[in-house]
Amino acid sequence: MVAADRDDIFLNLDEFGERHRIEGKTITAVLDESENGESGAASIGLAEYDLVVFAKSEDLPKRRPAGESLNVDGREFSIVAWREDCGIAEIQLAQQTAG
């Protein structure tokens, strides 16, 4: 039932899902740029991130640890956290700065 909801509702292109390129592969995902970017999370000891990607775990590359890079729609991000539950991955990403 969870798998059906995942595909039929959350990641449905007519509902919340959109096509995005993750590491060069086009998949259906939900991107959230508003969840933590401006919240001042660092001031209360939480990790800050600029983008959250939700996608089917099997559509994504092999899970990577915090600090590694992930390319989303041609933009490089650093992974802050990568969690998976019921076949959905939640990846918190921070925009990489030129250095």
Q: What's residue 43's pLDDT?
A: 47
Q: What's residue 44's pLDDT?
A: 46
pLDDT tens digits for range 12-71: 777 788 999 999 999 999 999 865 555 555 544 456 889 999 999 999 999 999 999 999
Q: Which residues face 26 on adjacent strands?
A: 21
Tell the burial category of 43 from Cβ atoms under 10 Å away from its Cβ (0-12, 13-18, 19+): exposed
Domains in the chain with CATH codes: 2-95 (2.40.10)
Q: What's residue 27's pLDDT?
A: 96
pTM of the model: 0.80
Q: Assign residue 98 a region (left: φ > 0; alpha: ψ between -120 and 50; beta: otherwise).
A: beta
pLDDT > 80? residue 77: yes
